[in-house]
Every structure is written in structure tokens, then in C-alpha cells.
Amino acid sequence: MTFEVMKTVVLFFLSIATALSAEHGEPPVKFSFAKGEDSLSINDWWNRPTGEIIDLKVPREQVVCFGIYTVHNRVLKLSAQLYPLYPAETREVRLEIEKDGEWTEIARQNVNDLGWVATFRIGDWDDATDIKYRLRHAEKASFEGLIRKNPVDKDEIVVAALSCNSNRDRGLREEYTRNINHQDPDLVFFAGDQSYDHKQHTAAWLKFGLAFREIFRERPCVTIPDDHDIGQGNLWGENGKESKTGAGHDGGYFFDPEYVKMVERQQTAHLPDPYDPTPVERGIGVYYTRLLLGGVDFAILEDRKFKTGPEGRHPMKGPRPDHILDPKYDPKVIDTPGLELLGKRQEKFLADWAEMRDGVAMKAVLSQTGFCGGAHLHGTHNNRLHADLDSNGWPQSGRNRAVELIGKAKAVHIAGDQHLATLIRHGIREHGDGPWAFVMPAIVNTYYGRWWWPEEEKPGANPVPGSPLPWTGDYLDGFDNRISMIAYANPNPKRKGIQAWKVEDNTGLAPKEGWADGWGLIRFRKKTGEVTFECWPRFADVTKPGAEQFPGWPVTVKP
């Protein structure tokens, strides 16, 4: 290409950009993040490349991507998530409900230009009946859904639980929509890592909404962000301090606090009001709270925000501060004084929550990750970690306080993050004296597989009678925490790690079998006080007879 031709091409594209800028005007607010966070969705976003995540330049009648909500104590919290708006477009979103076949406006809110979300809080909500709602922007854009009545008259309350929505597969998750809508849960819980696109949370969050909105369009939904959502490989929030590395092991948040606040606004503003809204350092908010639904009381925790980072907190026993490889090390040396897991604020919340019994039949704790080291092999089938300090098995003293508080509440624990489904009975002073804990599988498990694979390849004491799984029973994890493994769902042992994985066809999708991805379904039966944990493979079809769960499931317990 000659210089004159190149010059002509460049001038042509510059003229298009100039025309677009003239048509849409300058953005009313200019955001500048030093590390380039959310660059596709801020400032003159329409001049930015589309990228592989999602096309942000949608027709204006589609600009309301989804609504997401909870109702607690007759207070509706509902967030409207929009695509980016042009400067000349109104920032106002209208909330309407259907009465006697007619739509009636009940509230208006402005969209925040950083993240493009608006949240409604409606008190004295009629939770005794199903109510259709509609979110509207300008004249043509709308999103309709259903605010379900409080299912207090149901004996069985059902929760669908998911986490770890890998960006190695950009599909729209139709298999999850079909299956979960057929199972018709009362609540959906996304435990974190809804986004793996670190710097581009808004685009990834919109993509997440497109994939799952038909599940939460007509039922309440809890979403909480984990490390990848706020742009880090791991997160030890250490009360909101600044981290100097994206790996996060020095404690704190690496990206700009305004970016972190945007992520939490998008994912958690629709949750019930925080138990104690006092921000942590640098103005980062909190969202830990409770949700009472149908007589089941859910405590929603932030098990990363107050946790101490491992760097400089213990003698190094591995190649990095959060990995210990030596099976001969003494776990006591890393449980040093002053370390926090949940932090004093959340421990007080859990203690208070355990005593809240008005209208409560059963209790459950929802959080990002499990309170033990429930995996041996990480990333590849030959990468054995003796202890992973990213898990909530460390610090052990904080872990013991947390599981003791959960046990006193007679609650079960539901979490994600590990990419490995497990059902564990915690032990504190002895095996089996703590609460039951279910970690659901990853939505898509092509990113980082984990395995429960004891090195001696033997069952522990008191194995589960009749289980098809070879390694159940009582064990110590890498921190010497007592755990009883009841069920797990390993990826196929012949599967190679993600570093060696190659796409096998032109779809870019992983093979459909052997990855151990899927979702959890938890059934709370109020009359008997029993909880049943179900664990379903991603490509099962529950609409057909004979659909099977992972081997070892379902399991019914009584907290």
C-alpha cells in the first residue's frame, strides 16, 4: 500500500470518528483510570472497537439489557442495567408495574454513567402477590419481568447456585436456562466470577446478563463479585487498602476504588440494604446483609473484603506467598496473630444473625468460597498444592470462628470459586462437629480445573457407605482443618490442564463431557428441617426422564 493510499484510508476513518463525535457530542463526564479499566464503556465509547466480549452499539430500543432484584422485609431492591448511552440520550429510567392490565409508573431513577446502572428501592412492597414490572428508557426501550410473591406458603424452598462463568466460552448458556427454568427455583445465587474480563467489567456484566437474564427475569437473584470480577487473580481485600500487584497477595484492591465501587454497584445494589453500611478504606462500600425468603434466612457474606493478605505474614513455604508445596511444614506457623478472615464486623453480623428467628424456619450462608482447602490438584493434573491460602481454610483461627458461628446458627454454607463441586462437613474440635458446606461446580470449567485427589489415594476414616466415589470420609486439609468429604465431582482424570488444552473444532467450545462443570440445586424442607444438595452436570437435560446428577449426589442432611 502506497503512502498516499494509507493517508486516504486514515483520513477516511478519522472523518467517520469526527462525524460520530459531532452527532453524539462529547460525553458529559470524562473518566480516567490509570490502568485502563472499563475503557470500552466510558467517555466516547462509541468510537472504541467492539471487541470480543459484546457489541455495545445496540439499537436504542434494546438499550435496557436486564433487571435484577430481591425483596426482603417488604422492600423491593431492583437494578436496571443499561448498555452505554450517548451523551444526548436521557439518563432517566422509569419503573412501571402492571395493575388491572394497565402499566402504572411508580418510580424514576437516573443511570450512573460509570457502569450504566440505576437502582430502585421501593418500600412497603406488596409481597403477597406476583407483580409484573417493566423498566423503560426513552420511548422504545423496555425490559419486562416478574416480582414473585414471597413463597411463605411453600414447604420446600429451592435455590439454584452457580459460579465461575469462564470467558473461554462466550456462548449464551441456553442449557442452563432450559434446565434451571424447568427446575423453577425460588432464588438464584451467583457466587462470583460472573466476569473473567478483569478490566472490562461493564461489557462482561452485560454479556453475563444476556446469558442468564431469562433465569432471573421472573425470580429474585443474589449476585456477589469475587476476585476476577474486580480484576484480580486473587483477592485478600484487607479492609479496602491499595494493592500494588494484580496478583493481590499483598492485600487490598489493585484497580481504582471507583472501578471497584462500580463493580459492586452493578452486582450488589439490588441486594437488601447492608447490615452496617460503613465503607471500608478509600470509600469502598460493603454489601454483607441478610435476605429472608419463604422462611429461609440467607446471610450474604463478603469473605474476601476483610481478609488479610498472605505476603509477609508467614515464613515462605512455596514459590509464592499463597501456595505451600511442602507437605512437611507445620501449619501452625502460618496461623499468626492478628490475621483476619471475615473480620470483626462480619463476625458480629453472623452472631447477631444467628439469633434472628422471627419468621425463620431454616438458615443458610452464601459467600464466595469454601472455608477449607477442598482441592489437591490445581490447574493441571500434575500440579499438587499442599495448601492454598486463597481458600478460606486460612487463617485457621478465623476459619474456626466462621464455621463455629455458622454452626451455632444451624445454617448450611453455599459457595463457589473452586471450580470443583464438593459437599463437606466441617470439623472444629473434632470431625463432624461443624456445619455442612456445599461448593457448586463452575458454570464453565475450561479455565482452571481442580481435583479432590488425596496423595495416598485412600478413603478417610468413616467413608460414606455405598458411595460410588473412592475418597470420602474424614481428612485433614493442608491447614490441618478437620473436614469430612461427603461428595465431589472431579474433571475427567484423563483431561489435560488448560495450559495444554486445544480447541478441537471451529466452534471454540470445549468438549461437552469430562469437564465437571454444572450447577447446584439446594432444597430446603421446612417441615422436616432437611436440606438436599443436588449437583447437576452442565449438559444434563432435566426436562427428559433419566437425567442423572454427578455420582455421589444427591445428599440429604439435617443441620
Dump pLDDT digits (tens) for 282-308. Answer: 999 999 999 999 999 999 999 999 999
pLDDT at residue 206 in the model? 98
**Measured distance CA(191)–CA(137) in Å, rounded:** 30
pLDDT in tens, 31-79: 989 899 999 999 999 998 887 899 999 999 999 999 999 999 999 999 9
E strand or H helix at 537, and its extent?
strand 530-537
* 342 has pLDDT over 80: yes
pLDDT-based confidence at residue 24 (cuts at 50, 70, 90): low
Reduced to 3 states, what is the DSSP secondary structure of residue 187?
Answer: strand
The rounded mean pLDDT for the chain is: 91
Measured from the Cβ of residue 105, the count of other Cβ atoms closer than 10 Å reads 11
As a whole number of Å, the CA-based R_g of the chain is 24
pLDDT at residue 487 in the model? 98
pLDDT in tens, 93-114: 999 999 999 999 999 999 999 9
Measured from the Cβ of residue 328, the count of other Cβ atoms closer than 10 Å reads 6
- Please report, for the chain, how many H helices and E strands are present, in that order: 6, 26
Span 235-250, average pLDDT: 94
Span 76-83, average pLDDT: 98
Span 373-378, average pLDDT: 95
Beta-strand relationship, 75-82 and 117-122: antiparallel
Domains of the chain and CATH, by start = 60-147 (2.60.40.380), 156-557 (3.60.21.70)
Nearest Cα neighbor of 150 from 74, 241, 262 is 74
Contact 443, 193 (CB under 8 A): no
* 124 has pLDDT over 80: yes
**Measured distance CA(278)–CA(170) in Å, rounded:** 37
* 427 has pLDDT over 50: yes
C-alpha distances in angstroms, 260 versus 159, 284, 343? 28, 7, 19
* 512 has pLDDT over 80: no
Of 168-172, 200-204, 353-357, 400-404, the least confident: 168-172
CA angle (166 as vertex; 198, 233 as ends), nearest 5? 40
**Measured distance CA(57)–CA(312) in Å, rounded:** 46
pLDDT-based confidence at residue 11 (cuts at 50, 70, 90): very low
**Measured distance CA(198)–CA(246) in Å, rounded:** 10
Sheet holding 411-415, edge to edge: 289-293, 296-300, 362-366, 411-415, 436-439, 421-427, 482-489, 473-476
pLDDT at residue 18 in the model? 37
pLDDT in tens, 176-201: 999 999 999 999 999 999 999 999 99
Report how far Cα 445 is from the mean position of its chain's Cα atoms.
15
pLDDT at residue 15 in the model? 37
pLDDT at residue 197 in the model? 95
Q: Is the peptide bond before 327 cis (omega within 30 degrees of 0)?
A: no
- Beta-strand (E) ranges in 283-366? 289-293, 296-300, 323-324, 362-366
pLDDT-based confidence at residue 13 (cuts at 50, 70, 90): very low
Span 377-384, average pLDDT: 87
pLDDT at residue 32 in the model? 86
Q: Which amino acid is at 186?
A: D
* CA dihedral sign of residues 123, 128, 129, 130: positive
pLDDT at residue 498 in the model? 34
Cβ-based burial of 318 (10 A; exposed 0-12, middle 13-18, buried ≥19): middle
* 497 has pLDDT over 50: no
pLDDT at residue 26 in the model? 78
Write the DSSP string, 65-127. Answer: EEEEEEEETTEEEEEEEE----TTS--EEEEEEEETTEEEEEEEEEPBTTTTEEEEEESS--T
Of 171-180, 237-246, 394-403, 487-496, the least confident: 487-496
Span 246-271, average pLDDT: 96
* 23 has pLDDT over 70: no
* CA dihedral sign of residues 510, 514, 520, 525: positive
C-alpha distances in angstroms, 432 versus 207, 353, 475? 41, 23, 11
* 210 has pLDDT over 90: yes
* 10 has pLDDT over 80: no
Q: What is the largest CA-CA distance in the chain?
A: 80
* 506 has pLDDT over 50: no
